[in-house]
């Protein structure tokens, strides 16, 4: 697995340190653990210098798109970017307002946390768990998602977030049920609106990523979930128990759309349908 740690910062000193030393700032034993786990770590930095947030998101996407997984390290005052692109990427807040002699230690600490994150989150490599983690969060009505969002919105401070994600998957499994009014035993994940979501095995469609009308926030959300690459064809069939599905749904731009009665919706992780 090729794993990216991407620093997004206003600090010239951080960019210089990452450029000069990069993953050599990591503890040797941690590099060996990563290597033994099949993880190759690449460390890079994007300098923030007056770009619009939209342009920064584009830079993040371009920097990340060729990696299997990744995590961001954001200046604390740039945390809004992390919240904007949620749940595509996880991020670690960086305190750059410390003395230069401690800056290298701060970077070392964040790099170590980033690598430990990828080594601890086995839940992402388990397909049955990743089907739950890849759900279209804006349209799946569940307090479990709200709780997870609250937990991760402020960034990752320690490895406690691993338990939050594992507990989320465990609790969401309680929502897995077959339909009772059909002979088929397909397992669905059922939300608070009694809508049935099933991960499709069909490979007939991909989320539209033309830009415009789509933005790089849409695109990033279609390509990654919590920093792990998504299959472009991954989508969910959304149905009701025994009726046509209809109503108001949120698209990948977070705009409300009225859906007229139909047998099912093809919905992608970034909420495109």
- The pLDDT of residue 212 is 86
Least confident segment among 152-161, 178-187, 248-257 = 178-187
Strands 2-9 and 40-47 come out as parallel
The pLDDT score that the predictor gives to residue 99 is 65
Q: Which residue has the tokens 């798109």?
A: 65
Q: Radius of gyration of the chain from Cα atoms?
A: 20
> Is there a contact between 71 and 90 (Cβ–Cβ < 8 Å)?
yes
Segment 75-96 shows an average pLDDT of 93
| pLDDT tens digits for range 7-53 | 999 999 999 999 998 888 998 899 999 999 999 999 999 999 888 88
pLDDT at res. 67: 96
Instruction: Tell me the mean pLDDT in the region 50-60.
Output: 87
Q: Which two tokens stand for residue 197?
A: 């979501």
pLDDT exceeds 70 at position 137: yes
pLDDT of residue 101: 65
Beta bridge partners of 73: 7, 92
Type and span of the H or E element at 249: strand 245-250
Q: Is the pLDDT of residue 72 over 90?
A: yes
State percent of the chain over pLDDT 70.
99
- What percentage of the chain carries pLDDT values higher than 90? 77
| pLDDT for residue 133 is more than 90 | yes
Supply the pLDDT for residue 100.
65
2-120: which CATH number, 3.30.1240.10, 3.30.9.30, 3.40.50.80, 3.40.50.2300? 3.40.50.2300
The full set of domain ranges for the chain reads 2-120, 127-267
Q: Does 246 have pLDDT greater than 90?
A: yes
């Amino acid at each position: 697995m090729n794993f990216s740690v991407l620093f997004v910062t206003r600090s010239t000193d951080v960019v210089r340190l990452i450029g000069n030393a990069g993953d050599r700032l990591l503890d040797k034993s941690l590099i060996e653990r990563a290597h033994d786990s099949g993880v190759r770590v690449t460390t890079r930095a994007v300098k923030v210098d007056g770009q619009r947030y939209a342009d920064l998101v584009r830079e993040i996407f371009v920097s990340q798109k060729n990696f299997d997984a990744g995590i961001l390290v954001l200046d604390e005052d740039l945390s809004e970017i992390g919240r904007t692109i949620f749940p595509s990427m996880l991020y670690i807040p960086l305190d750059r307002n410390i003395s230069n002699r401690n800056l290298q230690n701060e970077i070392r600490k964040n790099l170590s946390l980033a690598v430990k994150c990828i080594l601890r989150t086995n839940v992402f490599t388990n397909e049955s768990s990743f089907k739950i983690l890849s759900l279209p969060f804006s349209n799946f009505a569940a307090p479990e998602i709200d709780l997870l969002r609250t937990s991760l919105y402020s960034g990752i401070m320690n490895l406690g977030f691993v338990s939050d994600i594992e507990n989320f998957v465990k609790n969401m499994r309680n929502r897995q049920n077959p339909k009772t009014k059909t002979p088929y035993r397909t397992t669905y994940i059922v939300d608070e609106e009694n809508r049935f979501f099933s991960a499709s095995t069909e490979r007939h469609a991909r989320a539209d990523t033309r830009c415009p009308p789509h933005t790089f926030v849409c695109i990033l959300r279609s390509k990654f979930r919590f920093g792990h690459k998504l299959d472009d064809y991954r989508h969910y069939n959304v149905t009701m128990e025994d009726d046509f599905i209809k109503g108001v749904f949120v698209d990948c731009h977070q705009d409300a759309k009225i859906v007229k009665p139909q047998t099912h919706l093809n919905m992608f992780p970034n909420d495109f349908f």
